[in-house]
């Protein structure tokens, strides 16, 4: 079973490659979605994902929509 930190680090790698493909579509915001089992998981995942993307220089509402 994959641990949360491993999953988040995998998402971070994907997020680092993602802007290269998205540069051609300057006017659109990327949409990020996730399937979670409980609301506690959703809050934790959302917070960690936003934090990781912020560390990579992305701003919610400017580069992506969660």
- Reported as a single tens digit per residue, the pLDDT across 3-59 is 667 766 666 655 555 555 555 556 788 999 888 888 888 888 889 999 999 999 999
Please say whether the beta carbons of 28 and 61 come within 8 A: no
The pLDDT score that the predictor gives to residue 45 is 87
Query: Residue 43: what are its φ and ψ, rounded to 5°?
Result: -65, -45
Return the higher-pLDDT residue of 42 and 62.
62
**Global pTM exceeds 0.85:** no
Spell out the residues 6+ positions from residue 57 whose beta carbon is closer than 8 angstroms to its own.
Answer: none
Spell out the residues 6+ positions from residue 56 whose beta carbon is closer than 8 angstroms to its own.
Answer: 12, 15, 16
């Amino acid at each position: 079973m994959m641990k949360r930190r491993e999953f988040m680090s995998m998402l971070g790698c994907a997020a680092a490659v993602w802007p290269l493909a998205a540069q051609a579509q300057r006017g659109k915001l990327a949409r990020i979605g996730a399937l979670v089992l409980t609301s506690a998981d959703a809050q934790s995942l959302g917070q960690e994902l936003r934090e990781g993307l912020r560390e990579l220089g992305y701003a919610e509402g400017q580069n992506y929509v969660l």
